[in-house]
Amino acid sequence: MSLAVAARSINATAYGYVSSWALLTACELQLFDHLPARADELGAVSPDAALVETLLYVLDEEGLVDRDHHGVWSQPESMSTLLTGDQSYRDYLGGQVLQQMTPRLTLGTTGENVLAKVLADPASRQGYEGWFADADEAHAYQASQYAGSLGPAKALARSLPKPSGRVLDVGGGWGAIAQAIARTHDFDVDVVDLESVVAAAPPAGDRVSFHAGNALDPTTWPTDRDGVTYDGAVLSYLFSSIPGDQHEPVVRALADRGVRWVAVHGFMVGSGAHAAAWSLQHAVFVPGHVSRTADDVADMLERHGFVESDRRPLVDEMTTLVVGVRADRAG
């Protein structure tokens, strides 16, 4: 068995619970009874259309629903027969399995379904900034994220346009990607992240510098040094971790700084069997979360002068890398 096959098998086992969780929640809320419909027509399920869209993308990856080019979600007839109406299989899944069996296995003593909670009350989400205000929580999260990013970071670094100057890593955590870029291309990389994150970052070498700041506030980003502008910028997992209405302002701020290229990496729905599941996990935590497809990201970059130069899967069936280069500064 190859490492790729082994990793795929492990991921299918580890992340399968997210799709199950999505299905059980959809059954509990009788989501399928409201189809066909667009996500923004499912106010009876949740006032947050973007959150419902992400949930439906997870169900789509499992073949439970279909989405047409108008954004209307529906079900194959056989699925509808099983999952809609009174005394259907939906009642067993959403009732006995989710409400009686699952709480005893995964939800603890309260039996609270967090996905159902935020679908009903999207404002209940607190986001990473609140979570990482606790230094111990921030340390535990970043330590595991750093370890898991070392391998993908090398692949990402090799996939970037060849830098001709300093690189900015927005929301770069403990610098796994920054270190890989510095080693691969022999250029300096500046990482900006929350104070509680960068304060605990382990040594990353002379080429990597950490700066306390907020990804949503460009005035807190490190300024260009010695009159040299940033050649490029990396946004890895950033779009999953900030409100959707802040994605475009971040790209706009980078364009205003004159960077030559921008690389966006993360969970892009429709681009892998587990991409939507991971996006959903972030969606139930991040206020205002919006899932993006790779096309969405490429279009956003293009609106700010970056023409797509590369698009590729990075972590098998999970993450995608989209790179845009300014046409007026190519080469």
Q: Report which of 324, 330, 313, 331 is spatially closest to residue 7, judged by C-alpha positions.
A: 313
CATH number of the domain to which 176 belongs: 3.40.50.150
Cα(first)–Cα(last) distance of the chain, in Å? Answer: 41
Q: Which residues pair with 167 in a beta bridge?
A: 189, 232
My answer on whether 18 and 142 are in the same domain is: no
For the beta carbon of residue 322, count every other beta carbon within 10 angstroms: 27
Average pLDDT, the chain: 90
The domain tally of the chain equals: 2
Q: Please check whether residues 59 and 153 belong to one and the same domain.
A: no
How confident is residue 263, by pLDDT bands cut at 50, 70 and 90?
very high
Length of the chain: 331
315 and 276 share one domain: yes
Q: What beta strand segments (E) does 155-256 contain?
A: 167-170, 189-193, 208-212, 232-236
- Last-in-domain residue among 103, 124, 145: 124
Same domain, 148 and 38: no
Examine the domain organization and report whether 272 and 162 are in the same domain: yes
Among 65, 93, 124, give the residue marking a domain's end.
124
- Mean pLDDT along residues 290-298: 98
Assess contact for 241 and 282: CB atoms under 8 A: yes
Q: What angle do CA 312, 317, 323 make, to 5 degrees?
A: 20
Q: Which domain holds residue 32?
A: 3-124
Identify the pLDDT of residue 176: 94
Query: Could you give phi then psi for residue 256, rounded to 5 degrees?
Result: -65, -30
State which of 61, 89, 124 marks the end of a domain.
124
Could you tell me the pLDDT band of residue 294, with boundaries at 50, 70 and 90? Answer: very high
DSSP-assigned beta bridge partners for residue 326? 306
Highest mean pLDDT among 31-45, 185-199, 210-224: 31-45
Q: What is the pLDDT of residue 107?
A: 65
Q: Is there a single domain that holds both residue 51 and residue 180? A: no
User: What mean pLDDT do residues 151-166 have?
Assistant: 92
Looking at the structure, tell me whether residues 255 and 144 fall in a common domain: yes
120 with 135, same domain? no
In the predicted model, what is the mean pLDDT of residues 238-263? 96
Domain holding 99: CATH number? 1.10.10.10
Longest dimension (CA), the chain: 70
Instruction: Please report the pLDDT score of residue 329 as a whole number.
Output: 62
Query: Within this chain, do residues 156 and 297 fall inside the same structural domain, yes or no?
Result: yes
Let me know whether 143 and 77 are in one domain: no
Name the nearest CA neighbour of 250 among 180, 156, 171, 167.
Answer: 171
Q: How far is CA 22 from the centre of its chain?
A: 17
Same domain, 85 and 224: no
- Decide if pLDDT at 180 tops 70: yes
Give the residue with greater pLDDT, 138 vs 230: 230
Tokens of 89: 């299989």
180, 313: one domain: yes
